[in-house]
Structure 1
Amino acid sequence: MWEILHAAGIDPAPPRSGPTWKQFLTAQAHGILAIDFVHVDTIGLKRLYALILIEHGTRQAHLAGVTANPTGECTTQSARNVLMNLAERGKEFKFLIRDRDTKFTDGFDTVFADEGIRVLKSPLRAPRANAICEGVIGELRRELHDRMLVVNEEHLRRTLTTYLVHRNEARPHRGLGQLTPVQAETGPPAPVNLADYRIRRKAVLGGLTHEY
């Protein structure tokens, strides 16, 4: 291709004048949401789908819905539910990153567009374009789904809800300076003298993980 263009006297395209994708994500982090599906197979070999939404700025993750039949109508209703849960905070966001899965229909995009949120579709076969959300999906697989057996849809919903509360409120993140996602929004707690306290361990999900 280069030889053909060179022979035709066509120079390479000039560099883009706007910011790179990485620069855009960094500059707009607190106004960006990302969403994707994670699938889980139950002990009865039934495949379930969970829709996970994440806030780029704070890394808080939310469960938008769990279903065995992720139709366009179901996904659209999940979008309405998650915006309802965000309430007034939903107005802070300007962009939503999603892939080109056919389960994300025009109706799904319209729900966010009506709230003033612009939907950005990631390129085909480019998971790094939605790397933060993909990282959370990978975390759920490694830390949760690869370590337990899921019985049914309700069981998956309960375990994901419990794990995401733990992740948002008690799990520090290197990308947040070892703060939890909730602390990234409210600020770090006041310093204390650890010598005055005993370390206690709280089991989460029956001991699958712990809080200290």
Structure 2
Amino acid sequence: MKRSRFSEEQIIAVLREQEAGVPTADVCRKHGISSATFYAWKARYGGMDVSDAKRLKGLEEENAKLKRLLADAMLDNVALKDLLSKKFLTPVARREAVAHLETTYGMSERRACQVICADRKMIRYRSRRPADAVLRLRLRELAGEQRRFGYRRLHVLLRHEGHVVNRKKTQRLYREEGLSVRRRRGRKRATGTRAPLLVETKPNARWSIDFVHDQFASGRRFRILNIIDDVTKECLAAIPDTSISGRRVARELAGIICWRGKPGMIVSDHGTEFTSNAMLAWTQAAGVAWHFIAPGKPMQNGICEAFNGRMRDELLNETLFYDLDHARSVVAKWVTAYNERRPHSALGYLTPAAYAATLTATHDRLRNPDQLRRSSVAQPAHMRQSQPWTPASAG
């Protein structure tokens, strides 16, 4: 609104001249105003004195200020309703919210920050974090090679290749690259207390054995016999075939015992192959203790069940098998990678082969007290406390 050349005092003085008897035309000509302006002044300030005019002007200014405040409050409410479906808890989300308010509602940065209660320093901050292009590329390559690995195992693989990074950084890059793997989880049921089987923390203390099923591209089904060392988590054998009888199972176990040694116990379910006469005769002849889990309790053979789940998730669900020879080749390569290159979370992210080597070295030192005594005398200041064989729960 254009500011008037006349103040309230001057306007009231002009009106007083006309009220004193001076013709309106002469008053307008004297002060250089039009008759329309004169009558507009009279409609607004007629019958007022100077104090009344000042009070009216103050009320008008206050009314305009209240209107502006009301309009701003209504605009803020509309903006907040627009942002109601969005969560701006992180700095990135707050920056996006401020940019949205500035572009959509024409707000200034200061006002937009006041609306969402954000600090302007945080809004203006620009990250100086390096792009890590090489690390991101290698992480994507590893995730492409091992599509069912999470960020923890990928982090171990990166550390083995010489990329010294923090685990949280690997997790952040893993999430930003969109490499997260969806876990298929079954419904958990409450279980009662049970007494776990106690085994010594040494190789061959206990083996687990079970079958896993799959099919070829032609639709023909086949099965894989998995034999696991429960302590070292090594896969001793994974034997694919279209049919595996009890005699075949006994023959494969005998072959493994020839180069591995006899286990203290073998655990399995009540499958027909394991309860057959051929298996019963073999266990008696070989002198191997065989333990059957309770019916309907597969978690009593949980280590082998977990291995079966990893095999299905990382190999069977990701591979199309054409024939039996192809299945044997692929399964053999995967078992080698599982034992020698795949970090295992239950072993402190060591590979099963590396963990078995540490257990074997500890076992040899404990069996040779002279060697242990010489090592303790040679380094008295850094003597390590060797743990004897203690029963460990593996149920």
User: Is the TM-score greater than 0.5?
Assistant: yes
Residue of structure 1 in register with 2:234 after alignment? 60
Residue of structure 2 in register with 1:71 after alignment? 245
1:102 matched to 2:272? The reply is yes
Is the strand fraction higher in 1 or 2? 1
Q: Residues 178-212 of structure 1: CA distance to partner in whole angstroms, max 9, x if unpaired? A: 11101112129xxxxxxxxxxxxxxxxxxxxxxxx
How big is the shift at 1:153?
1.2
Unaligned runs of 5+ in 1: 1-19, 189-212
How big is the shift at 1:126?
0.7
1:20-169 mapped onto 2 (5 Å cutoff): 21-22=195-196, 24-25=197-198, 27-30=199-202, 31-84=205-258, 87=259, 89-91=260-262, 93-104=263-274, 105-169=276-340
How big is the shift at 1:79?
2.4
Amino acid aligned to 1:180: T
Cα separation, 1, equivalents of 2:308 and 2:323: 19
Q: Is the 8 A contact 2:294 2:300 kept in 1?
A: yes
Q: Is the 8 A contact 1:54 1:62 kept in 2?
A: yes
Q: Is the 8 A contact 1:79 1:108 kept in 2?
A: no
Is the helix fraction higher in 1 or 2? 2
Question: Percent of aligned pairs with the same residue?
Answer: 25
Cα separation, 1, equivalents of 2:353 and 2:240: 24
Change (3 A) 1:72 1:186: closer
Amino acid aligned to 2:270: R
Q: Residues 105-161 of structure 1: CA distance to partner in whole angstroms, max 9, x if unpaired? A: 232243344333200011111110000000000100000000110111111111111
Change (3 A) 1:154 1:122: same
| Helix, strand or coil at the partner of 1:53 | strand
Structure 2 length-normalised TM: 0.39
Amino acid aligned to 1:96: I
Q: Is the 8 A contact 2:283 2:289 kept in 1?
A: yes
Aligned CA-pair RMSD:
1.9
Change (3 A) 1:138 1:181: same
Residue of structure 2 in register with 1:10 after alignment? none
Amino acid aligned to 1:21: A
| Helix, strand or coil at the partner of 1:63 | strand
Q: Is the 8 A contact 2:238 2:332 kept in 1?
A: no
Q: Whose Rg is larger?
A: 2
How big is the shift at 1:38?
0.9
Amino acid aligned to 2:354: Q
Unaligned runs of 5+ in 2: 1-193, 360-395
Aligned residues: 163
